[in-house]
Amino acid sequence: MTSLPHDTAAEPDPLRALGLERLRRRTSMKWRTYPEDVLPLWVAEMDVPLAPPVVRAVTDALALGDTGYPAGTAYAEALAAFAARSWRWDGIAADRTAIVPDVMLGAVEMIRLVTGAGDPVIVNPPVYPPFFMFITHMDRRVVEAPLGADLRLDLGALEDAFRRATAGGGRAAYLLCSPHNPTGTVHTAAELTAVAELAERHGVRVVADEIHAPLTAPGTSFVPYLSLPAAARGLSLMSASKGWNLPGLKAALALAGPGAAADLARMPEEVGHGAGHVAVIAHTAALREATGWLDALRTGIQSNRRLLAGLLAEHLPAVRLHPGEATYLAWLDCRALGLGDDPAGVFLDRGRVALSAGLPFGTGGAGHARLNLATSPEILTEAVHRMAAALR
């Protein structure tokens, strides 16, 4: 029997606070897409109560009727302080930031700033499926530079993609996912420096989606793309949305390196009106006051990652688990199970567990599934038991 790990953080593990009955009362996508008999471990929502400072800030705003449009630089300043404390990076200048409605819409706006209709955007599959959808929806072309077999950036493939993308002399962007969803890979300073140098050499503009940055495993260091001297012309997106489970409170920050400030300045101010003012208040409170809560969460995620490894070894030993160092997502290589391209479909139909299907993640996604670890150890344990039972 796999034993449940114990909470060791100073604050209680938020992943252990809520039971299934209470979670099923939620009306968000995670809980309302599938029937009640399905355990949902798919979309990137967390089964946690909100951090108390966030609840206080939002409640105070509502009590005050402070529900107008966002203004000011408090979000950027809170992120700058968080970045200095967490990543020892003090390079966030509020005048090189802009509030955007969310990370994906921010990415779209930034790609629009540096490319034109029909231009290529490079991505590293397997990667977060909306990258493909948004790029094609905004009339750009996806160029794939797949991750290597070790699920890290393949600099050779990237250079090849940069070369192909710019062969006609046009503009190109690279949408980098850092840390990487779904693998949880944390790119090193050396890898990111090589990316920045390659991008400069080929005239490709880098837009780094760093939404998962707060969610590294304890002891793992995240390297902000714009912290690298070679990335001065880079653009980045950050948000408290994933780290503190705030996707229902829409807001994010677009950041420009010193050499990209003029690009960001061309973004229409109205883009920022799409963010919710109460959301900005919530994100600011999270970054400023809820770091202890985040640390307890990260410890809980790491503990769940270990629990999952043990459960799979015991009940589904043919499944290979990539040892991610960030995000609360686990990328499962199910090819040895012989379930075809869509193992998640089998786990759903026969096991009543909803994982994310691997195919929409692009090249490298077939035969894989993504599991959301941001739940209680009990639910995670039950999910793996159901997955194993589905194959008997």
The binding site for ligand PLP (CB under 6 A) comprises 44, 102-104, 128, 177, 181, 209, 211, 239, 241-242, 247, 252
Nearer Cβ to ligand PLP (13/45): 45
Structure tokens at 56: 């206080």
Query: Nearer Cβ to ligand PLP, position 58 or 388?
Result: 58
Give the shortest CB-207-to-ligand PLP separation in angstroms.
11
Cα torsion angle, 41, 361, 314, 352, sign: positive
For the bound state, the minimum distance from the C-beta of residue 249 to ligand PLP, rounded and expressed in Å, comes to 10
Is the Cβ of residue 127 or residue 348 nearer to ligand PLP in the bound state?
Answer: 127
Cβ proximity to ligand PLP: between 14 and 276 the closer is: 276
181-205: b (≥16 Cβ within 10 Å) or e: bbbbbbbeeebbbbbbebbbebebb
Minimal distance, residue 279 CB to ligand PLP, in Å: 10
User: Residue 3 burial by CB count (10 A; 0-12/13-18/19+): exposed, middle or buried?
Assistant: exposed
Among residues 209, 258, 262, 257, the alpha carbon closest in space to that of 234 is found at 257
Choice between 166 and 236, CB closer to ligand PLP: 236
Q: How far is CA 281 from CA 79, 291, 293, in A?
A: 12, 16, 17
Residues in the chain: 392
Q: CB of 350: closest distance to ligand PLP in angstroms?
A: 27
d(C-alpha 101, C-alpha 254), whole Å: 10
Q: Minimum Å distance from CB 6 to ligand PLP? A: 29
Least distance (Å) from ligand PLP to the CB of residue 374? 11
Output 105 or 346, the one with its CB closest to ligand PLP.
105
